[in-house]
């Protein structure tokens, strides 16, 4: 959020921070006399930004001031959410995608899904849009740098396309970073200033929070653990765009290892790249007691544990959060294996390792939070 320059901006920012807050607490936060504070709140009320609650004991943002759209672009799905000015979701939708259809088709689906949400908002004002993508992002140009799990997605100017289509501020961020934002806003990492979110889906990525802020690195690639090497002997081996860690620790990695060890258990299943990468059948075989499936997952989770231990060695976080579809496949086995491996390698500084509280909606929550931030910063600039 922008640094406030006047009292009215400070009052609005505190309301935005909490959604609703008592007048007593608000007066202490902005250091204003009660009479001055009430006058400022009345200005915000007149502009449709805030409203008195419980008589005049509390004040909150006006949820109906406007709406934002948050989008999660995954390697197998698109999830859309429409949220009010307090960040509460009023409508959402999920559609499956075929990543092999390429950028043009997928961008058309993003636009169509967004238009459907805008129609659901009716005449209410749409303020901003944010989208998480499975790639590092060139924020300056609104470009997807390289979505290695989406064929053809290299240097695709998605942000520019969406701005042109909807004539709105558009915020675009790496999907794991978006998930970290979501967990910090509404999930298990609320109040935790130093943590790492690890997204385990078709691929693997992570979002890093340091001192309460998302850390992107010098070119936006911080947290891209998919290329991490966990076996030094393989340092010269070409793992392609996926890199070593993602080649094993991911939906596509588990599916590939499962086919190698178990053979295909998916004859008759729908064809396509998304289905080929789906590891559901390996988890299902494990649940049914197949020892080979259990051994595959134990191997993959051990590799993940080594990767997490390396992250802990560099960042010394307060918390590790695990999210994504793979995290839901065999959570007890995964957590037990990670705890054993990380404690063995980083016994003095092992942080708590927890599952996401938002599950597969973490990226969408992060997108909503990001869109709200963009919208609220625009409001702050206009408050004089």
Please report the DSSP string for 91-153 in residue order: EEEEEE--GGG-HHHHHHHHHHHHHHHHHHHTTSPEEEEEEEESS-EETTTTEEEE-TTSTT-
pLDDT digits (tens, 9 = 90+) for 146-158: 887 888 999 999 9
Task: Please state, for a pLDDT cut of 70, what percent of the chain lies above it.
Answer: 96
pLDDT digits (tens, 9 = 90+) for 342-374: 999 998 899 999 999 998 899 999 999 999 999
pLDDT band at 276 (very low <50, low <70, confident <90, very high): low
Measure the CA–CA gap between 105 and 1, rounded to whole angstroms.
35
Question: Which segments of the chain belong to CATH 3.30.420.40?
Answer: 66-181+362-382, 190-356
Task: Quote the pTM value.
Answer: 0.91
| DSSP strand pairing (89-96 vs 77-83) | antiparallel
What is the CATH number assigned to the segment(s) 66-181+362-382? 3.30.420.40
Query: Would you report the helix, strand and coil content of the chain in percent, each value rounded to 5?
Result: 50, 20, 30
On whether the 7-61 domain is CATH 3.40.640.10, my answer is no
DSSP 53: E
Question: Which segments of the chain belong to CATH 1.10.10.10?
Answer: 7-61
pLDDT digits (tens, 9 = 90+) for 30-51: 999 999 999 999 999 999 999 9
Pick the CATH number of 190-356 from 3.40.50.150, 3.90.1530.10, 3.30.420.40, 3.40.50.2020: 3.30.420.40
Question: Is a pLDDT exceeding 70 seen at residue 264?
Answer: no
Nearest to 131 by CA among 374, 326, 376, 324: 374
Q: Is 141 left (phi over 0), alpha (psi -120 to 50) or beta?
A: alpha
């Amino acid at each position: 959020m922008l640094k406030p320059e006047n009292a009215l901006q400070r009052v609005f920012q505190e309301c935005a921070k909490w959604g609703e807050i008592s007048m007593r607490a608000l007066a202490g936060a902005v250091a204003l006399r009660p009479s001055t504070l009430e006058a400022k709140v009345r200005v915000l009320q007149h502009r449709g930004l805030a409203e008195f609650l419980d008589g005049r004991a509390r004040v909150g943002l006006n949820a109906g001031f406007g709406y934002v759209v948050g989008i999660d672009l995954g390697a197998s799905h698109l999830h859309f959410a429409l949220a009010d000015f307090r960040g509460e979701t009023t409508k959402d939708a999920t559609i499956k995608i075929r990543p092999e259809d390429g950028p043009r088709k997928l961008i058309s689906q993003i636009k169509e899904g967004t238009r459907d949400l805008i129609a659901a908002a009716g005449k209410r004002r749409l303020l901003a849009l944010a989208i998480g993508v499975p790639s590092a992002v060139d924020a300056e140009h609104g470009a997807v740098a390289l979505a290695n799990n989406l064929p053809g997605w290299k240097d695709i100017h998605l942000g520019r396309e969406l701005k042109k289509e909807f004539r709105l501020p558009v915020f675009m961020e790496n999907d794991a970073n978006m998930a970290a934002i979501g967990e910090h806003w509404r999930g298990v990492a609320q109040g935790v200033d130093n943590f790492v979110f690890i997204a385990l889906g078709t691929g693997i990525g992570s979002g890093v929070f340091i001192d309460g802020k998302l850390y992107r690195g010098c070119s936006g690639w911080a947290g891209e653990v998919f290329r991490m090497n966990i076996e030094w002997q393989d340092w010269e081996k070409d793992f392609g765009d996926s890199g070593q860690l993602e080649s094993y620790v991911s939906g596509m990695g588990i599916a590939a290892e499962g086919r190698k060890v178990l053979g295909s258990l998916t004859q008759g299943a729908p064809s396509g790249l998304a289905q080929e990468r789906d590891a559901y059948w390996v988890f299902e075989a494990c649940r049914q007691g197949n020892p080979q499936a259990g051994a595959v997952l134990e191997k993959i989770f051990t590799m993940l544990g080594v990767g997490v231990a390396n992250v802990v060695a560099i960042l010394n976080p307060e918390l590790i959060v695990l999210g994504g579809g793979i995290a839901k496949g065999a959570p007890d086995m995964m957590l037990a294996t990670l705890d054993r491996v990380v404690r063995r390698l980083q016994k003095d500084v092992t942080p708590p390792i927890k599952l996401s509280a938002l599950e597969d909606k973490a990226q969408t929550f992060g997108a909503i939070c990001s869109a709200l931030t963009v919208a609220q910063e625009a409001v702050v600039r206009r408050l004089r």
